[in-house]
Structure 1
């Protein structure tokens, strides 16, 4: 649990619309990035997972992500081949997809649930990941925030966000998915990835970012008291001459810039005692989000855990009204 009021008062947060740097070639950069990886796309594989679960189908998916590289995911779904709406979920910082069948709630509620492994991560909490990141990095702080940060083309999250957007293509091709009802969600890092996927792939019908990380990088790096943002702070404390270069790179990956491009309905959540993700960074993305149908759940006395199952219940009701 965090300390009271880690950021601006709620009334100020609701009107917080900062000037967040956006590169002039932001759209061109992402169009080029996605086109290069789509050109290397290979057919996915989907095989039964090894699990004692029998009443819900659990499958092991491998699909082509950034550079055509194999990315793993779990597909958990109701029995039968009647097309169902899908919820694609992205994972928090340094977590992995874990053991098959760990997350059954969405499938039990009638959705096809697709849980994407985050390349190179999966050893910080939970039960592990299965997807390597075959790319190296120049000098970096331990963690993922500064890997390849000298150039947008080499930055770690270029690969992750591309994986996330291309997964939507794969999901829409499944005969058991209603391609017109595909949603994206995730908490923390998963929330930041959600914003990117919703902006980059027009097949996303709704977006549900929870306590999203990777928003308003400049403010977050300067003011957040803990990790992972402190990885960037430590990097800049050593590489004193790279400050503007680093923030220029990060502007291509800022959740605020993705949020501006989201037109699908969006349900955010924020926790006002969050010491990992500043509430103002969440509100910056929410207030500047391009969707005409957007709302935000505020958890006044929670830290980075946010609303947990209470938020999931809100999401199911919100989705039912839109799908």
Structure 2
């Protein structure tokens, strides 16, 4: 796969100005205040039998945006006797939480692991269990990138980002989790959600976005020929008069802009031959990230990024982070 974007040297210096809505911070403050105030129930953690002897697994329901139930799995090492550090994970586009016995890496490493389901998604191999009651009928373009795009108030990712923040809230409130040792992570769409949460939630211990989606969205929509960014281009091909208003809505949800509000230490991964999340868009987020940061660059990889190699980097980084020796 050839390079399809800027060179690595150019990417390292790439930091274009992003439009900042005048009410950007107020919009998110109000969104999260409303989400928290409309939660009429506490998160529910119900232990389930998986046949695994070294990992305890809980079926999770968290009150998310508008108090709507968001599903997930919480996995914890069996026999843990003290509050644990926790990795909260967000999923890639189209993925759902899957089955109870899957995704054992972080629990096997001795951490609590809260995996958030993705509202309305889950049509890929890992099925989902969280509906999107406010989603309405699908638009003229399949997918989620243009759903409710007429206004920031109705846009799909307003609900999804609020869900993610509420899952971090739920992890912090769990009696077996140390609220000061919470790391957020995700790949692709999950990486974009990770950066959004990093910009919206103070006091995180760490942030690990991999090949993040939803960064410098205008550039992604203009230079990428692969989904999901093509959903935006297809929408604007049909609605020729809405370009300005569409990108005005999207500016509220640009993970690269939210990253400029983040303060927690971060470990990024970026792939230079990624034709789904172009490296220049990911570097926009990395270069603008406001907290301590480091990056692993996979020069000859596409959207698969570092995969298991990046997991090895993350395991070492989280261990050193919680030990107080991480170098970022």
> In which range does the TM-score fall when normalised by the shorter chain?
over 0.9
> Which residue in the other structure is 1:316 paired with?
315
CA RMSD between the two structures: 1.0
What are the superposed Cα offsets for residues 124-181 of structure 1, whole Å, 9 maximum, x if unpaired?
x223010000113474410011000010000000000000011111100111101110
- Aligned pairs for 1:64-79 (under 5 A) are 64-79=63-78
2:296 match:
297
Return the offset for 1:24.
1.3
Q: What is the DSSP-based 3-state SS (H/G/I as helix, E as strand, rest coil) of the residue aligned with 2:103?
A: coil
- Say whether the 8 Å CA contact 1:211–1:304 is kept in structure 2: yes
User: What is the aligned partner in structure 2 of residue 87 from structure 1?
Assistant: 87
CA distance in 2, matches of 1:235, 1:73: 31
Q: 1:166-315 to 2 correspondence within 5 Å?
A: 166-291=166-291, 293-315=292-314
Contact residue 272 and residue 302 of structure 2 kept, 8 A:
yes
Structure 1 stretch displaced more, 108-117 or 78-87: 78-87
TM-score (norm 2): 0.95
**Shift, 1:99, TM fit:** 0.4
Structure 2 equivalent of residue 46 of structure 1: 45
TM-superposition CA deviations, 1:19-76 (whole Å, max 9, x none): 1111111100000000011001221111112422122101101010000000001001
CA distance in 2, matches of 1:295, 1:99: 33
Aligned match for 2:2, one of 1, 4, 15: 4
Q: Alignment partner of 1:33: what SS?
A: helix
Deviation at 1:316, TM superposition (A): 1.3
Which residue is equivalent to 2:325? none
Aligned match of 1:146: 146
What is the DSSP-based 3-state SS (H/G/I as helix, E as strand, rest coil) of the residue aligned with 2:205?
strand
Q: Is the 8 A contact 2:202 2:263 kept in 1?
A: no
Q: How many pairs align?
A: 319
Secondary structure, aligned partner of 1:241 = coil
Name the residue aligned to 1:32: 30
Q: CA separation in 1, counterparts of 2:181 and 2:30?
A: 26
Check whether the contact 2:203–2:264 (CA below 8 A) recurs between aligned residues. no
Q: Does 1:111 pair with 2:111?
A: yes
Per-residue CA deviations over 1:277-296 (Å, capped at 9, x if unaligned) read: 010000000001101x2011
- Higher alpha-carbon deviation: 178-187 or 78-87: 78-87
In the alignment, the residues of structure 2 paired with residue 314 and residue 212 of structure 1 have an alpha-carbon distance, to the nearest angstrom, of 17
Structure-1 residue corresponding to 2:58 = 59
CA distance in 1, matches of 2:282, 2:194: 13
Aligned equivalents of 1:136, 1:174: Cα separation in 2:
30
**Residue equivalent to 2:134:** 135
Q: Secondary structure at the match of 2:308?
A: helix
Moved more, 245-254 or 78-87: 78-87
CA distance in structure 2 between the aligned counterparts of 1:174 and 1:81, rounded to whole angstroms:
14
Q: Deviations over 1:174-228 (max 9, x none)?
A: 1110111000000000000000111111142110000000010110000011100
Contact persistence 1:76–1:101 (CA under 8 A): no
Q: Distance in 1 between matches of 2:27 and 2:54?
A: 44
Where has structure 1 moved over 6 Å in runs of 4 or more?
none
Structure-to-structure mapping, 1:10-25, within 5 angstroms = 10-25=8-23
TM-score computed with the length of structure 1 as normaliser = 0.97
